[in-house]
Chains A and B, each alone.
Chain A
Amino acid sequence: MDMKEFIVRRTIQTIIIFFIMITFNFFLFRIMPGDPTAILIGNPNITQETRERIIHEFGLDKPLWMQYILYIRELIRGDLGVSFYFTGEPVIKIILGKRMINTLVLMGSATALSVVIGFITGVVSAWRRGTKLDLAGLIISIVFFSTPSFWLGLVILLVAGYYLHLIPLGGTVTRGLVHVNVFHYIADYLHHLIAPMITLTLVLYGGYYLMMRNSMLETLTQEYIVTAKAKGLPERRIMFKHAARNAILPLVSMVAINAALIVGGAIVTETVFSWHGIGSLMFLAVASKDYPVLQGIFLIISITVLLANFIADILYAYLDPRVRY
């Protein structure tokens, strides 16, 4: 089978999976207990008639299959519906706006940083396996990997924000500040980005580190490494040029799987740092049973994961021809 055929087959598979996924997405939220109008309980002056009227306005009194057909039709037209919680706001506008940019910046930078750190420490750790350095790397990464991110975030807020006054205590920009120019804005934004980014990097890098270390250990037993050593090549060159290059494949697929995080945001970290992103939106949407927004976020996450995996697969096939058969 040649590359072209492989790509065509994977494309068809991806489309089928996509349809299964949106169906699943749709029904998943509707089999959850409770209904969205129940959230109005806080206001006893919402009478039963009003509640029924709201149910009718949002089409929640139609049979489920009908709602499904309407959903697919609107989806094809590019309409994700309107939010229940943010009364009447189109979902597309809520998701693909400032929140998405904030999340992309935060998650993108944190993922990039953690991949780089995980990669380098993983390679070095495997190379020096069994030494104190390796042990220290293992322990540190496992400690951060298993630390709850809300706790880590709060500790960073308390120490760096409250006691040391190094970072602000929330938001993406200084509230109410009029920025003199773009650079001023960017500086302010980056200042707010540091703390959540470090928190996420610490929590995320452990996974990449462990993956890289394992894969490296396997590669290091290969004969060509012995050959390289015998040739008297410099250590760093063998480590990164010969071994790491071959060991990086599992890391590629891990990043593809974690692509969901990059668009989906980190619910807990975003909440702790009051970061106006998709993660905190998702939290809000779950709490208020905002089906359209949840569906919208899940849809975008799923599309990203599908695409990322599609690309990773093709990359694999290119890197390693055995995959194609």
Chain B
Amino acid sequence: MKKTEIGTILLVAILIATSMVVMPETLTVAQGGELSFDLIAPGELGYWIRVCEIFKRSCEDIGIKINVKAMETGAWVSAMMDTHDFDIAMCGMLMEPTPSYLPLLFHSKYAEGGFNVAGVNDSELDALLDQSQVTVDQEELKNIIWQIQERIAENVYSIPIFTEDVVFAYSNKFTGIIGIPGDGAVNIWSYINMRRTSGEGGEMKIGMLGDIKTNNPLLRTLSLEAYIEHMVFETLVAFDANLTVVPWLAESWEVSENGTVWTFHLRNNVTWQDGVPFTADDVVFTIETVLENKPPTWYSYFELIDRAEAVDNYTVRVYMKQPYAWTLTTFATFEILPKHLWKDVPWNTTNPPMIGTGPFKWVKWEKGEYIELEKNPNYWQAGKPHLDRVLWTVYETGSAEVLALRSGEVDLMYRYIPLESIKTLIEDPNIVVGVSPGLNFRYFIPNLRRAPFNDINLRKALAYAVDKETIVNAIMLGYASPIDSFVPQAWGKWNNPNVPKYEYNLTKANEILDKAGYLDVDGDDIRELPGTPAPSAVPFWVWIAVAVVITAVCSGGAAYIVLKRKAKA
């Protein structure tokens, strides 16, 4: 063995020894828990992970350690809903235009295996949520919804972050495209009004990201399917741009005093696209089909309907099992199907008769390529629609679709514009960019089943550490709005603007934590749970002793090897 080799071994030994002396902190962990939490989010959504990273950095400044865990989507869902194995989760929901969803997210009966991921168990809140389902009087209902928002925010059961905007873009050769909250450009108002600036007729190509799965409305699971099928099939009532319910196939309606009987008066000038008149029988048939076969997406909306009957050709009465506040949401979301064509086919057919009352007729679906629709010349709103033909064309990536829009291969991109492309589209003189508020929210869910999240002080401190402005501007490039309530501003009158707000404020967060007894007792910049005793410092000579022993062992080993080699030689 050469001198240099012995030297190297000695050097390594000394390095190990000194490194142990300079980093003694790692061994002086306090007894009891540190505030170190796992934050789970689906890894597939890169920007969610970046949101989590921003939150993580803020938390570092208030002495809370966050480990961001990017998970496979299915595993993330089952951690949240089935096993409840998480500390904090980032979650996002796409919602309907009325706050009928609140019980699903916060009622204690959905805490096991349901969407009440946080595990909220608050009997007072439960009572309010129950009321929000049965109150038919609109003013009273609004009051209740406002109270619910307040109670959730006061107790920080979850931490709202932002609502994503719906950004759409279209060629300036078209006009009459109307954006409404949630659906953006693809809604019935656009369908009947959109036309070429050059005049009547012509075709429009709408890009879609990926194909639809089915064209049977009863089997629907994607919002894209609803957007396309709403060109063909229509609803009894509709949401307008202010999310107010307005008449559509039903001209007017009234509800009985106890809220259990809804009467709809139908228009008498509507015909199906094959010429058969549209009547009350079709409405009754549609409701009965859903009640009988329970298609997953529809049934939960219809669950509280007991039965429906046709009073005369143009009057339908719907009987509820109990008063239900959101009946109109159901009839603004789900379409009426023609009895004379659907009664002979199984409800879950993959080849449904595509005849509706809508402004466009279904022509064909070339799977994976495009869906073609043409004008319904006998549409019940005279003079509409204006276009002769609409093509929905499939692209698999947003970037390819943006290129297609800019080169004129696509006329309308209704959503999923990559954020970084929006600026180029705004600068393009041939493109019009529209922004509608989204009906969604992204939020953090603390696992209330676990200590220390059952402490409201900790939750408040976490809420103060969410830098919503930075998240919205840096990650969403401004195409989102910070939110403070679980009925965000986009929901109009249902939004309670007076809920307690937790504006980004690390000083306040630190104060709350200090006051509540979460202190950093071992000096590693991470706070410990209240009552954690300070660790006894390890005397300096212990480290020296450890270093000496290691050095001795290493150099002894080296000497042994050298001697053995020599003996062999």
Residues of A within 8 A of B (CB): 32-36, 38-48, 50-51, 53-54, 85-89, 98-99, 154, 157-158, 161-162, 165, 168-173, 175-176, 270-276, 280, 284, 287, 289
Q: What is the minimal beta-carbon distance from B317 to any residue of chain A, in angstroms?
A: 25
Residue B485, interface by CB 8 Å? no
- Chain B, Cβ-Cβ closest to A283: B396
Selected interface stretch from B118-126, B136-144, B363-371, B522-530: B363-371
**Inter-chain contacts of B407 with A (CB < 8 A):** 161-162, 165, 169
**Inter-chain contacts of A158 with B (CB < 8 A):** 403
Contact assessment for B397 and A274 in the assembled complex, using a CB-CB cutoff below 8 Å:
yes
**Inter-chain contacts of B104 with A (CB < 8 A):** 44-45
**Inter-chain contacts of A274 with B (CB < 8 A):** 394-397, 400
**Inter-chain contacts of B404 with A (CB < 8 A):** 169-170
Q: List 9 A-B contacts (CB under 8 A).
A: A33-B72, A38-B77, A41-B81, A44-B105, A169-B395, A171-B395, A271-B397, A276-B369, A280-B396
**Inter-chain contacts of B403 with A (CB < 8 A):** 157-158, 161-162, 169
Contact assessment for A87 and B396 in the assembled complex, using a CB-CB cutoff below 8 Å:
no
Contact assessment for A169 and B409 in the assembled complex, using a CB-CB cutoff below 8 Å:
yes
Q: What is the minimal beta-carbon distance from A82 to any residue of chain B, in angstroms?
A: 10
Residues 295-348 of B at the A interface (beta carbon under 8 Å): 296-297, 299-301, 348
Contact assessment for B114 and A157 in the assembled complex, using a CB-CB cutoff below 8 Å:
no
Taking a contact as CB atoms closer than 8 A, the residue among A46, A88, A170, A172 that contacts B400 in the complex is A170
Contact assessment for B296 and A46 in the assembled complex, using a CB-CB cutoff below 8 Å:
yes
What are the interface flags for B53-88 relative to A under an 8 Å C-beta threshold, 1 for contact and 0 otherwise? 000000000000000000111111110010000000
Contact assessment for B78 and A35 in the assembled complex, using a CB-CB cutoff below 8 Å:
yes
Contact assessment for B400 and A44 in the assembled complex, using a CB-CB cutoff below 8 Å:
no
**Inter-chain contacts of B71 with A (CB < 8 A):** 33
Contact assessment for A42 and B370 in the assembled complex, using a CB-CB cutoff below 8 Å:
no
- Interface hub of B93, B294, B404 (most chain A Cβ within 10 A): B404
**Inter-chain contacts of A48 with B (CB < 8 A):** 110, 112-114
What are the interface flags for B132-162 relative to A under an 8 Å C-beta threshold, 1 for contact and 0 otherwise? 0000000000000000000000000000000
- Interface hub of A161, A165, A272, A274 (most chain B Cβ within 10 A): A274
Residues of B within 8 A of A (CB): 44, 71-78, 81, 93-95, 101, 104-105, 110, 112-115, 203, 205, 210-211, 213-214, 219, 221, 294, 296-297, 299-301, 348, 350, 366-370, 372, 389, 391, 393-397, 399-401, 403-404, 406-407, 409
Contact assessment for B101 and A44 in the assembled complex, using a CB-CB cutoff below 8 Å:
yes
Contact assessment for A176 and B370 in the assembled complex, using a CB-CB cutoff below 8 Å:
yes
- Interface hub of A32, A43, A45, A157 (most chain B Cβ within 10 A): A45
**Complex Cα gap A28–B218 (Å):** 33
**Complex Cα gap A54–B221 (Å):** 13
- Chain A, Cβ-Cβ closest to B407: A162
Contact assessment for A86 and B214 in the assembled complex, using a CB-CB cutoff below 8 Å:
yes
**Inter-chain contacts of A170 with B (CB < 8 A):** 393-396, 400-401, 404, 409
**Inter-chain contacts of A276 with B (CB < 8 A):** 211, 367-369, 394
**Complex Cα gap A54–B299 (Å):** 13
**Inter-chain contacts of A284 with B (CB < 8 A):** 210
Contact assessment for A175 and B205 in the assembled complex, using a CB-CB cutoff below 8 Å:
yes
Contact assessment for A175 and B301 in the assembled complex, using a CB-CB cutoff below 8 Å:
no
**Inter-chain contacts of A47 with B (CB < 8 A):** 114, 300
**Complex Cα gap A270–B394 (Å):** 13
Q: Is the interface of B mostly helix, strand, loop or mixed?
A: mixed
**Complex Cα gap A157–B368 (Å):** 19
Q: What is the minimal beta-carbon distance from B38 to any residue of chain A, in angstroms?
A: 15
Contact assessment for B74 and A172 in the assembled complex, using a CB-CB cutoff below 8 Å:
no
**Complex Cα gap A276–B105 (Å):** 38
Q: What is the minimal beta-carbon distance from B68 to any residue of chain A, in angstroms?
A: 18
**Complex Cα gap A73–B300 (Å):** 36
Contact assessment for A45 and B297 in the assembled complex, using a CB-CB cutoff below 8 Å:
yes
**Complex Cα gap A86–B44 (Å):** 21
- Interface hub of B71, B75, B94, B369 (most chain A Cβ within 10 A): B369
Contact assessment for A35 and B74 in the assembled complex, using a CB-CB cutoff below 8 Å:
yes
Contact assessment for A46 and B297 in the assembled complex, using a CB-CB cutoff below 8 Å:
yes
Taking a contact as CB atoms closer than 8 A, the residue among B213, B296, B350 that contacts A53 in the complex is B296
Q: What is the minimal beta-carbon distance from B302 to any residue of chain A, in angstroms?
A: 11
Contact assessment for B389 and A176 in the assembled complex, using a CB-CB cutoff below 8 Å:
yes
**Complex Cα gap A175–B373 (Å):** 12
Contact assessment for A43 and B214 in the assembled complex, using a CB-CB cutoff below 8 Å:
no
- Chain B, Cβ-Cβ closest to A41: B77
Contact assessment for A176 and B213 in the assembled complex, using a CB-CB cutoff below 8 Å:
no
Contact assessment for B369 and A173 in the assembled complex, using a CB-CB cutoff below 8 Å:
yes
Q: What is the minimal beta-carbon distance from A167 to any residue of chain B, in angstroms?
A: 11
Taking a contact as CB atoms closer than 8 A, the residue among B75, B368, B389 that contacts A33 in the complex is B75
**Inter-chain contacts of A161 with B (CB < 8 A):** 403, 407
Contact assessment for B219 and A87 in the assembled complex, using a CB-CB cutoff below 8 Å:
yes
**Complex Cα gap A173–B370 (Å):** 10
- Chain B, Cβ-Cβ closest to A272: B397
- Chain B, Cβ-Cβ closest to A165: B407
**Complex Cα gap A276–B113 (Å):** 37
Contact assessment for B95 and A86 in the assembled complex, using a CB-CB cutoff below 8 Å:
no
**Inter-chain contacts of B389 with A (CB < 8 A):** 176
**Inter-chain contacts of A98 with B (CB < 8 A):** 367-368
Q: What is the minimal beta-carbon distance from A135 to any residue of chain B, in angstroms?
A: 35
Q: What is the minimal beta-carbon distance from A221 to any residue of chain B, in angstroms?
A: 41
**Complex Cα gap A280–B210 (Å):** 10
Q: What is the minimal beta-carbon distance from B224 to any residue of chain A, in angstroms?
A: 12
Contact assessment for B369 and A50 in the assembled complex, using a CB-CB cutoff below 8 Å:
no
